[in-house]
Structure 1
Amino acid sequence: MLALCVLRASCVNPANVTSDTSSVNLVSLLEEKLAAEMKSIVTHHHPVTTYYQVALALLGLCQQGSPVRQTDVRTFSAAVMNGELKQGNTEAVSALALRCFYQGRYKPADSVRDALIKLTMELYCARTDQHTIGNLYSTGLTAQALIANEYFIPAPVWGAKEILEELRAQAEPGAFVLPVFASQALPALLWTSYLDAGRIPCRASVPPGSGGDLGKLHRDANCELDGQLLPLRPRELDHPGRDEEAESKEPEYVR
């Protein structure tokens, strides 16, 4: 999936990656891998590899606009609700993947929405007094997930300003020198996420520093909730003007 993100951001079609002697359709390969993973989850109650890899596959195919079976999205959402995702990075990538389907008006939306709320709450609760989410190296990816799902928990509530300042402070002495860590932290520092990979038109000229303005965050936000419920948005505000009758009609695939 990360290869798909890189290719899309580089204006290369992942469905037709060519070399001097051959070409490969990475999208078809990913679809085959996802089908095998989902068959294993349904049959054996666990994936062939890990839920992290399943989440990456779902995210990559959703971003590519490839058809994904509704039953696969529902199966994955059920795994989230059943607590089968154990690691922070898995939860973060899963929140990004399900956000992609949610933005695409997956129907019925309730299963995805409930799983998203559960994941977002768990990521929020993983914050530490050191202004990280989990450990330092999981913070970048987790911050991406919270940025993408700011609809459920606003940035001042999860302490975005302090957390991103800590990421920036740790980046200066070289904490994220390895590409795998830099690729997770940099999008968050630019107030974006993997969901935005490939969205910039390939021929467009993008001015420097257009990744987002952290100054919009409320500097004096009080993120201590004292055990109170998070200010989740009312369900009726999720999709203004949505067609309830149309929502009840469930296609086999979602893009």
Structure 2
Amino acid sequence: MSVLLVALTVAYASNSGELVSQVKALKDQCNTLSAQRALDNADRDKELREREMQRDEQAKLVREREAEILQLKTQIADISRSLAMIKLEKEQVDAKLTQLIATSSTQADLLDRLTEEVNRRREEGLALERRNIELQDEINDLNSQLDVAHAHESKLEEQVKSLSDQLAGNVEQTSGENIPPVQVFGRIVSVETTRTGEIYVEVNLGSSDQLRKGHELRIVRGDEYIGTLSLQKVDVNRSVGKVVRLRRGMDVQVNDSVQSPMTQ
């Protein structure tokens, strides 16, 4: 009998040691996962800030390019007006020259001067036309750069929005004291937005569901996370909460679901 008791005692001690080892291993895994999650969130925050900086730089470049294009268009308009005036003067000189040739063939000196003036005006007109072409080429090049910049800016904005949505969609950081003691599920029965932009909602849950002021609930639509509300007033079967976190691009609607936050 004593031998049997000894054997049972040894077996129990061995099993207890294995259980302790397994529990320790599970705790280590949990700590590792928590640390990795914190690192992932930090990396996402850093990448989001970098994307926003790139977007701001790209937007600045776009504004500079647009300003350059506006300046070039102004120069082209000025050159076009000068070119029109030169052409008009040239036509007047040509008409005067034709008249002089028709009325007097003896005014050779005047004819030479008029010819020189016409040639000079013609050269000025050609120079302005060449400059006009150069400016138009510069505008076309800047327009191409602007198109590329706009495309890159749109891509950066999409990436920033995607990262923001990913961060907003993660499990929100909720302290233990703000988590309801039981899992609850309800829906929003009314929504009101104040003049200052704050959003208040009424839900069909209350103190009978073990809720109290300060508890936080997730707002979801289907499987999609919308935001988080903090209860401000709690009655037996009704509560009023303030939306404290709202996912970018989303709005809160009547009949959206509310539920207890997921703990980390």
Tell me the TM-score normalised to structure 2 length.
0.16
Whose strand fraction is larger, Structure 1's or Structure 2's?
A: 2
Q: What's the TM-score, normalizing by structure 1?
A: 0.16
Higher RCO (Cα < 8 Å, 6 or more apart): 1
Higher helix share: 2
